[in-house]
Amino acid sequence: MIREYTLFSAIGIALTVLLELLVLRTGLFRDLRYWVALAIVAVFQLLVNGVLTCPPIVSYDPAEILGPRIVCAPIEDLGFGFAMVTTTIALWRRWGGEGSSYGDG
């Protein structure tokens, strides 16, 4: 049985890592500022997930997730958060956003 939520989370993580390492090549994964930013985002993501999933305002089909939860939310949510935040920061750096090593910055 394919767990769609888990599958799409894993695909998002894999595509994000491949995009950064093979296409954009911004050096993001070697930048301590990125990891600090990711940790800050994860804390707030878990806070909001807790508010939404503990009551439960939002619920998940147990057949579509792995099962482990952090603050009531499925572990897969952190994968989606990683993919969204990492892709956004990598594109920002690649296209010359502030703090970028590309362009005028």
Transcribe the chain into DSSP letters: ---HHHHHHHHHHHHHHHIIIIII---GGG-HHHHHHHHHHHHHHHHHHHHHHTTTSS---GGGS-S-EETTEETHHHHHHHHHHHHHHHHHHHTT-TT-SSS--
- Give the per-residue pLDDT at 104: 45
Tens of each residue's pLDDT in the chain, 105 residues: 789 999 999 999 999 999 999 999 999 999 999 999 999 999 999 999 999 999 999 999 999 999 999 999 999 999 999 999 999 999 999 998 765 555 444
